[in-house]
Amino acid sequence: MKIIQKCPICNSVQLRELYRKTYVYPGDNIESNLINGNFVRLYILFNYIIQNRTPVQFTIMICKNCGFIFLNPRLEAQDIEVKYRMINQFGSVRERLKKHPPFNLDKRAAAIYRRICAQIGSEPIGCKILDFGGASGYNLRSFVHHNKCYLVDYEKWEIPPDIEHLGCTLNNVPQEMKFDIILCCQVFEHLIDPRGILRELVARLTTSGLLYIELPLGCFREFKHIGNPITHINFFSSASFSSLFSECSVNIKSIDVGLRWMLHNRALCLTAIAQKNRHSFPPTYRGSYKDTLRQMRNPLYYLVLIYNRILRALRI
């Protein structure tokens, strides 16, 4: 891990500390806690990443230029490799899903499909579609019948025969392989280099290809309740999300905040559909530190969460 002095999105050095949080070693009983995501990741942090059981402190920072919120120190590439290798070795995600099976996967896939169809004005047919960080391929369920579908994920899941697993990272995907649609759902909150990965994804699009990204609205409440410091390390607002696209010369076709189906329920998320910039000049989007502060404190989101709880109670 390393402490950084610049914003991972815009490279600004104008950083402000929001608060600090200290994490302690969770204990040795890993086998009895495999379905506890925070326990497993703290166990991995202390035993395999820092290799020290002394309490460790992280700082939650905000960029005063683009409004991006992030954890400091940051994981490095070797830490990410260790993290996923140990998660795979322990089988903790599989154990958790076995204990609490997801039940909204068809609804989730259908909702993503509808948003893509609305953007392109028709159903995608004969397209090459990649789900980056796609787990077992459930986001592709509505696409597989008339398209060639692929996924990339650190974990090797059992996937349907009509989806091809290309590897753990984009480095495993042949450079000449381009995609008409790339899905990237619930991934950017985990990335140590979100700007670099966005540029890589855009480079894998065909000339008119679309990029669909979904991630938590981390600037609202989530950044205040971080159970472990190696899962979600980025906490986006609409402003910092837009700034990320601008930094990478990507044209945003649409961006919105709303409830999205997850594995077990709905959650408040940011969703964007974007396309390669076809012009020589980079697009610019309005978005700032003050915009993030307003979104952090927006009382209307609490009404959305109350509405979501009512839907869950009614099992709608």
For 128, the token pair is 């090459």
How far is the C-alpha of 140 from the C-alpha of 133, rounded, in Å? 12
pLDDT tens for 200-238 read: 999 999 998 999 999 999 999 999 999 999 999 999 999
Please tell me the predicted confidence (pLDDT) of residue 315.
Answer: 78
Rounded CA-CA distance 316/311 in Å is 5
- The answer, yes or no, to whether residue 283 has pLDDT greater than 80, is no
Interval 2-23 mean pLDDT: 97
Superfamily of domain 102-313: Vaccinia Virus protein VP39 (3.40.50.150)
Mean pLDDT score of the chain, rounded to an integer?
Answer: 93
Predicted confidence (pLDDT) per residue in 131-163, tens digit = 999 999 999 999 999 999 999 998 878 899 999
250-261 and 163-167 strand pairing: unpaired
DSSP state letter for 175: T
Residue with the bigger pLDDT between 211 and 279: it is: 211
35 pLDDT higher than 70:
yes
What DSSP character marks residue 282? P
The tokens for 241 are 């999300």
What mean pLDDT comes out for the span 192-198?
A: 96
Q: What is the pLDDT of residue 155?
A: 82
The string over 56-82, giving b where at least 16 C-beta atoms fall within 10 Å of a residue's C-beta and e elsewhere, is bebebbbbbbbbbbbbbbbbeeebbeb
Domain boundaries for CATH 3.40.50.150 within the chain: 102-313
pLDDT at 286: 57
